[in-house]
Amino acid sequence: MAGLAESGSNPDVDLLYDINGLAKDAPPWFDRVMEFVGEYGLLLAIVLLVLWCWWSVRRRGEEDAASSVAALIWAPLAAGIAVLVNVPIRGFVERPRPFLDHEGLEVLVSGKNDYSFVSDHATIVMAMAVGLFVANRKFGLVALVLAVFGGFIRVYMGVHYPTDVVGGFALGTAVALLLSPVAMALLTPVTRAVERSPRVGWLVRSRGRGRGDGGKEDAVVSGAPSERAAGASERDLAA
């Protein structure tokens, strides 16, 4: 695989220089911003989107709240599993970082001496974005745009080839989608059990929302003494 990085006529390398060349032309302060966004900012933004979506789901208190929350829980779990799957892939491919094989790159972050393929950052953000898309299309679309932008920044920073990012996108998507049915089958009963709990049910539904059945039961229970009292009054009048 390392041979793919050796030829300057390789489209992967050409695209690397084209995108990373933007960092050379940008002012230093902009590169610092891109470095922060690429390392931490976009991942944090997607995590906040997941939390925002959870808050929205629990406030609405819809009937499928438990399954929606289960899907949201799956998003970070999918990212973690995808990274674990990537460990043997990186060890097998053993592709060096692009700045180790190519001169003239503007590397915005130091200390990246592990293997390049597949990009962990691209894998994580795409797995979380796809998991969020499964839970909610609106939030998921925003997360997908952020994930693609995050992959672009990894190349801009000079720490990954474009194919490293594409491989990360593919891996994150595959794990999030292929394992989603199994994950939902395991997580949904748990979130439904949490939903029924009087102590932690607010994690799935906001109190006072989506409790139509419980309200009917309360009405029946509270009405029973009244019915007995009415019956007693009728017997007193008859007497």
Q: Which residue has the higher pLDDT, 233 or 40?
A: 40
Residues 191 and 84 in one domain: yes
| Region 172-177 average pLDDT | 96
Q: Which of 78, 163, 64 is nearest to 125 (CA)?
A: 78
Interatomic CA distance for residues 17 and 62, integer angstroms: 49
Interatomic CA distance for residues 66 and 205, integer angstroms: 8
Residues 97 and 168 in one domain: yes
What's the CATH number where 166 sits? 1.10.606.20
Report the pLDDT value the prediction gives residue 2, as an integer from 0 to 100: 42
Q: Which of 8, 25, 68, 14 is nearest to 205 (CA)?
A: 68
pTM: 0.78
pLDDT in tens, 183-228: 999 999 998 888 888 887 788 877 655 444 443 333 333 344 444 4
Interatomic CA distance for residues 132 and 42, integer angstroms: 14
| Region 71-85 average pLDDT | 94
Residues 184 and 215 in one domain: no
Report the pLDDT value the prediction gives residue 65, as an integer from 0 to 100: 83
* Confidence band, pLDDT 50/70/90 cuts, at residue 10: confident
Domain extent for 39: 2-201
* Confidence band, pLDDT 50/70/90 cuts, at residue 63: confident
Residues 224 and 139 in one domain: no
Residues 130 and 216 in one domain: no
Residues 16 and 102 in one domain: yes
Q: Which residues fall within 8 angstroms of residue 171, CB to CB, at 6 or more apart?
A: 82, 85, 86, 89, 118, 123, 126, 127
In a domain, 174, yes or no: yes
Q: Which residue has the higher pLDDT, 122 or 60?
A: 122
* Confidence band, pLDDT 50/70/90 cuts, at residue 60: confident
Residues 131 and 223 in one domain: no
Residues 90 and 152 in one domain: yes
Residues 32 and 67 in one domain: yes
Other Cβ atoms less than 10 A from the Cβ of 137: the count is 9
Residues 74 and 165 in one domain: yes
Kindly list the distances between the CA atom of residue 110 and the CA atoms of 14, 33, 157, in Å, as whole numbers in the listed order.
Answer: 22, 15, 10
Domain count, the chain: 2
pLDDT in tens, 104-159: 888 888 878 888 899 999 999 999 999 999 988 999 999 999 999 999 999 999 99
> How many Å is the maximal CA-CA distance in the chain?
106
In a domain, 29, yes or no: yes
In a domain, 206, yes or no: no
Other Cβ atoms less than 10 A from the Cβ of 126: the count is 32
On the question of pLDDT at 8 being above 50, the answer is no
